[in-house]
Structures are given as C-alpha cells and as structure tokens.
Amino acid sequence: MITPATNLLVAEINSERRAAALNILSVAWALGAVAGPPLIALFARDGRLLRPLIGLAALLSFIALLIARRSLTDSSSGLHQPKPNQKDPARFKRSALRAWASPYALLTGGLIFIYVGTETAAGGWIASYAQRLGASASGFGTMTPSFFWAGLLIGRAAAPAVLRRVSEAALVLTSLFVAGAGLVLILVASSLMTVSSGAGLAGLGLAAVFPTTFAIFTRYFGRQASQLTGFFFVLAGLGGALIPWLVGLTSARFGDLRIGLLIPLFCVASMIVL
C-alpha cells in the first residue's frame, strides 16, 4: 500500500518534474534496500530482534505523522481538491476500466510487468551465477549483486540531470539498450570481473526505467491515474514473482543458469519493442 501511495503523492506534488522527483524517490528505495539488512543485523547482533523492530516501527510512525501533518497544512495548494466524477463512484470506476482497456495503458502495464521481473531476476540470480563461475571459494560471488545495486543507485541519482537534456521516453529507451548490453556482457563473460562489470552496467541501464515510466503514466492519465495505479503495481508484483521463477525453472530444465539468464535479456528486448 505504501509504494503506490508514495509514488502517487510525489508525482502529484511535483507535477512539473515528475520523472526527476520519482527517480530521486527511487534512490531512497534503493538505499533502504542496500542499508536495511546490515543495519538490522548490527542492532540485533545479540540475537534480540525485538528491539530494532520496535525502533523501526517508532521511526516509521514518526515519519508518517510528519507527512500527514504536512499534507494537512498544504491542503490549500490544491493537492486535495476533489477528483473528477468523485460524486459518482460507479461512473468513475467504469471510466477507469475503460482507461485500462486502452492500448496505451495495456502497453505500459506490460512494460512494468516485465521490468520488475527483469530487475528482480537479474539482481537475485547474479550471485548464484558468479558462484558457479568459481567464486564460491573466495566469497566474491556474494558481492557481485552489490555492483548491480550500485549501478541502480548511480543511474537513479543521475537521472534528474540527464532529464534536463533528453526527453523521458528517450531516457527509457536508451536505458534499456544499456541494460541489454550489460546482460549480454554477463552471458559472454568468462571472468568474475567481467560478470561484475556487466552487473553494474545492467543496473545502470535499468535504473531509470520504472520511475520514469510511472511519471509518464501519471502525466498521461492525469487525475484518473489514482484510480489506475493499484492495478499498475499489481502487475509489477506479478512480474517480480513470475520472471525470476522462470529463470530458475529454465536453469533447472537445461542444467545451465546461463540459459536461464537469457530470459532477462529477452525481457529487455521485449521492453524495447513496447
């Protein structure tokens, strides 16, 4: 519930620079994903997990109260103006269903379904792939995903500056070609350094795709976007569940993870077409 609501809030507040703002928000998501596990391990090093969880709950509650207070004080800015057709929910719902039936919404939904699955598959399977290349003895294989997440962080941090020079659609398309190059590099690699470089390049390419696409989506549908975003994130979650599983299934079927990792590469090619 937090993810779509936060993305919608940031997109609506920053209507003139949606893509840049959403990429900055995604930097925060990625930083949390990278920093969260070691921080929890640090505070729970004595084996008592309750203390860091209570602290985390208190921190989240405090931040939520600050956001709620800010929203109330900013109500005069127009952020909470009634949305169209709000007096007739049934009519508004029918309108939202018609919007999702449009080719634009279906294509965007397909792209997001594939994107989240590709990011999850690449970030999740890269450590296993590196270990099968002989990194298990040195332990370097477990570090390989760090290059992917570092590329993701750098790409999202740089996106606002890049968007000053290129259009949002051009950024998404170029990023997908970079991601494809990174995945090709991983598949042809014979050394761990090359795999790590490919992982970083793939992360860099994938970085701006989701937040920038969501920015385009919300601008295209305007006020109606709030009624469509729920299904948008349902598709994202389904992609994140299905595509990594397909990589594992294919790998087990052919006995080669390299063949399984052809699926994310095919997914990137599909996103370029979409």
3-state secondary structure 23-75: HHHHHHHHHHHHHHHHHHHHHCCCCCCHHHHHHHHHHHHHHHHHHHHHHHHCH
What is the predicted pLDDT for the residue at 144?
78
What is the predicted pLDDT for the residue at 95?
67
Please give the Cα distance from 45 to 67 (Å, whole number): 32
Domains and CATH numbers, the chain: 2-43+89-273 (1.20.1250.20)
The answer, yes or no, to whether residue 16 has pLDDT greater than 70, is: yes
Average pLDDT over residues 226-250: 90
Q: Is residue 85 within 8 Å of residue 224, measured between CB atoms? A: no
Name the maximum alpha-carbon separation found in the chain. Answer: 64
Q: How confident is the model at residue 43 (pLDDT cuts 50, 70, 90)?
A: confident
Instruction: Please tell me the least confidently modeled range out of 1-5, 103-107, 245-249.
Output: 1-5
Instruction: Please tell me the least confidently modeled range out of 52-61, 77-86, 213-222, 262-271.
Output: 77-86
Residue range 167-202, pLDDT digits in tens:
999 999 999 999 999 999 999 988 888 888 999 999
Residue range 115-142, pLDDT digits in tens:
999 999 998 898 888 888 765 545 555 6
Q: Is residue 237 within 8 Å of residue 19, measured between CB atoms? A: no
Please give the Cα distance from 80 to 116 (Å, whole number): 30
Record the pTM: 0.79
What is the predicted pLDDT for the residue at 77?
47
- In 3D space, the residue among 209, 160, 157, 158 whose CA is nearest the CA of residue 180 turns out to be 209
Classify 15 as helix, strand or coil: coil
Residue range 94-118, pLDDT digits in tens:
666 677 778 888 899 999 999 999 9
The answer, yes or no, to whether residue 72 has pLDDT greater than 70, is: no
**Rounded mean pLDDT of the chain?**
84
What is the predicted pLDDT for the residue at 187?
92
Question: Higher-confidence residue: 156 or 40?
Answer: 156
The answer, yes or no, to whether residue 154 has pLDDT greater than 50, is: yes
What is the predicted pLDDT for the residue at 73?
56
What is the predicted pLDDT for the residue at 14?
85
What is the predicted pLDDT for the residue at 76?
44
Classify 268 as helix, strand or coil: helix
Q: How confident is the model at residue 80 (pLDDT cuts 50, 70, 90)?
A: very low
Q: Is residue 168 within 8 Å of residue 263, measured between CB atoms? A: no
DSSP state of 141: G
The answer, yes or no, to whether residue 3 has pLDDT greater than 70, is: yes
What is the predicted pLDDT for the residue at 228?
80
Q: How confident is the model at residue 81 (pLDDT cuts 50, 70, 90)?
A: very low
The answer, yes or no, to whether residue 23 has pLDDT greater than 50, is: yes
What is the predicted pLDDT for the residue at 134?
67
